[in-house]
């Protein structure tokens, strides 16, 4: 479909059939309502917007189809004049793939973190919607996609996806449409259903369990884990910490914005055990190279390199501490494996390193730290996420009920108000 914009006045070299087709041969169209004309064997439409003349091919030899297209354009122009929506005549030609490309570029330009995870979530959206025109994507089609992801495909070996994963995928689709509207590529966006998320993790480690896990970690990870347990920082944020971020004289650590997930810098003060950890790491800066000893720029390092993936070391430490759970198949049955000729259940760690962040938040709140201060230390930006990390344990509930019972039992049992006179009988 071709679209051209020509001046409202002046001559044009575009050949056209002087005979125009109106909606009704007996009723003339109003001034400014455009018209339909034949060009070769295809009908074209002509209309005006903001003093400029536009011409579009209807792509059809049927004058009724051309008239329908013209009426649609006139409604869009009217809606623009009323401030209801933007007028974007090329919106019908935009594919979802183009919107997703723009979203990915915008994500990279804005310094988005976790690009591999972003692209992973984007992959399924591209496969399902990429070759569709944006105007053809409806809420019904998106609901069908959600149903397929929830059900999976056993024959194709595709397991069902969790609601959380599906929400992250459809969220990107919604962002792509929103960005397209902002950039006047498209006019409208479909409604996207948000699934309830009931699989939010609520793991945390009590002090005793944490100490056992730390004792079984490699030496270079022990202070790394202790720092996370005290400050409730994310793993990547701790791994990127350099000595340039640490002011030992002032006793302050500043987390740079580029290393914080929410993009906002924050700081913590070195006190007590936290100060001891930093002093140990200062003494442990030196490492050996082929050219001789060198000093690491990273606070937590392994032979001068920042701490990388240590999931195996963490899983081994959890197993040694007895913090494991069976791995389940898609039907919820435990998986087994043959080890030394014997069938054994496949076990996974029941605690994640990220649970230290939840534990750190919980410990600060239990210690009486004001929630605003605790959020400043952990780097949480919103109260909703902070509250989700502030997990209540069975012991918390037990202690709360105990305190309530003590408060109730401490109340006087003798009434201070004495009734005056005799009660009046009611008939």
Task: Walk me through the domains of the chain, giving residue ranges and CATH numbers.
Answer: 3-87 (no CATH), 96-182 (1.10.150), 207-349 (1.10.443.10)
Q: E strands along 263-389, which residues?
A: 266-269, 286-289, 292-295, 301-302, 305-306, 324-326, 336-339, 342-345, 347-349
Residue 348 φ then ψ, to 5°: -120, 155
CA 338 to each of CA 4, 325, 343, 346: distance values in angstroms, whole numbers, following the listed order: 70, 18, 4, 9
pLDDT at position 144 is: 93
8 A C-beta contact, residue 253 and residue 241: yes
pLDDT digits over 267-318, tens only?
A: 788 888 888 999 999 999 999 898 889 999 999 999 999 999 999 999 999 9
Q: Give the pair of three-digit tokens for residue 193.
A: 């259903």
8 A C-beta contact, residue 388 and residue 375: no
Eight-class DSSP state of 267: E
| Whole-number Å distance between alpha carbons of 117 and 77 | 41
Q: Give the pair of three-digit tokens for residue 143.
A: 């609901």
pLDDT digits over 67-78, tens only?
A: 887 887 777 777
Assign 225 to helix, strand or coil.
helix
| Whole-number Å distance between alpha carbons of 32 and 50 | 11
Q: Which DSSP string do the residues of 166-208 spell out, in sequence order?
A: HHHHHHHHHHHHHHHHHTTS-S-------------------HH
Q: Give the pair of three-digit tokens for residue 72.
A: 């649609």
Eight-class DSSP state of 57: E
* Adjacent-strand bridge partners of 174: none
Chain mean pLDDT for the chain? 78
Q: Give the pair of three-digit tokens for residue 140.
A: 């019904």
| Nearest Cα to Cα of residue 250 among 266, 231, 265, 271 | 271
* Adjacent-strand bridge partners of 290: none
151 CB-side CA count, 13 A:
9
The whole-model pTM stands at 0.56
8 A C-beta contact, residue 345 and residue 334: yes
Eight-class DSSP state of 243: G
| Whole-number Å distance between alpha carbons of 151 and 145 | 10
- How many Cβ atoms from other residues are within 10 Å of residue 239's Cβ? 19
| Whole-number Å distance between alpha carbons of 126 and 129 | 5
| Whole-number Å distance between alpha carbons of 202 and 219 | 28
CB proximity list for 23: less than 8 A, separation 6 or greater: 29, 67, 71
CB proximity list for 368: less than 8 A, separation 6 or greater: none
- Torsion region of 3: left, alpha or beta (phi above 0 gives left; psi -120 to 50 gives alpha): beta
* Adjacent-strand bridge partners of 302: 305
| Whole-number Å distance between alpha carbons of 420 and 347 | 72
| Nearest Cα to Cα of residue 38 among 66, 13, 10 | 66
| Nearest Cα to Cα of residue 16 among 52, 69, 66, 74 | 66
| Whole-number Å distance between alpha carbons of 153 and 166 | 15
Entry field: residues in the chain = 427
Q: Which stretches in the chain have pLDDT values below 50?
A: 1, 3-16, 18, 20-27
């Amino acid at each position: 479909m071709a679209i051209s914009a020509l001046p409202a006045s002046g001559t044009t070299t575009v050949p056209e059939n002087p005979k125009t087709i109106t909606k009704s041969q007996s009723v003339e169209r109003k001034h400014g309502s455009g018209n339909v004309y034949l060009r070769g064997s295809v009908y074209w439409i002509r209309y005006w917007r903001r003093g400029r003349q536009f011409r579009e091919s209807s792509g059809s030899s049927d004058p009724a189809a051309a008239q329908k297209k013209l009426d649609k354009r006139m409604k869009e122009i009217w809606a623009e004049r009323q401030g209801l929506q933007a007028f974007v005549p090329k919106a019908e030609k935009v594919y979802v793939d183009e919107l997703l490309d723009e979203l990915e570029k915008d994500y990279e330009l804005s310094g988005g973190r976790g690009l591999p995870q972003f692209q992973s979530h984007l992959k399924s959206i591209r496969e399902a919607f990429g070759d569709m025109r944006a105007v053809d994507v409806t809420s019904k089609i998106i609901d069908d996609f959600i149903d397929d992801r929830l059900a999976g495909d056993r024959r194709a070996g595709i397991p069902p996806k969790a609601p959380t994963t599906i929400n992250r995928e459809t969220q990107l689709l919604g962002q792509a449409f929103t960005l397209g509207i902002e950039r006047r590529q498209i006019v409208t966006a479909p409604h996207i259903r948000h699934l309830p998320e009931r699989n939010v993790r609520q793991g945390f480690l009590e002090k005793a369990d944490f100490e056992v896990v730390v004792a079984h970690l490699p030496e270079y990870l022990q202070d790394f884990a202790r720092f996370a347990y005290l400050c409730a920082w994310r793993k990547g944020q701790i791994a990127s910490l350099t000595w340039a971020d640490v002011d030992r004289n002032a006793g302050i650590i500043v987390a740079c914005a580029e290393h914080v997930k929410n993009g906002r810098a924050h700081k913590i003060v070195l006190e007590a055990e936290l100060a001891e950890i930093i002093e140990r790491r200062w003494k442990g800066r030196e490492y050996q190279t082929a050219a001789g000893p060198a000093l690491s720029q990273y606070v937590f390092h392994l032979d001068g390199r920042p701490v990388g993936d240590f999931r195996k070391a963490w899983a081994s430490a959890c197993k040694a501490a007895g913090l494991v759970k069976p791995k389940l198949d898609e039907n919820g049955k435990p998986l087994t494996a043959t080890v030394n000729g014997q069938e054994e259940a496949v076990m996974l760690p029941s605690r994640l390193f990220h649970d230290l962040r939840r534990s750190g938040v919980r410990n600060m709140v239990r210690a009486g730290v004001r929630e605003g201060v605790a959020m400043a230390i952990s780097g949480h930006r919103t109260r909703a996420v902070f509250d989700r990390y502030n997990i209540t344990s069975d012991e918390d509930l037990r202690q709360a009920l105990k305190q309530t019972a003590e408060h109730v039992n401490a109340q006087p049992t003798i009434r201070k108000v004495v009734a005056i006179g005799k009660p009046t009988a009611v008939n």
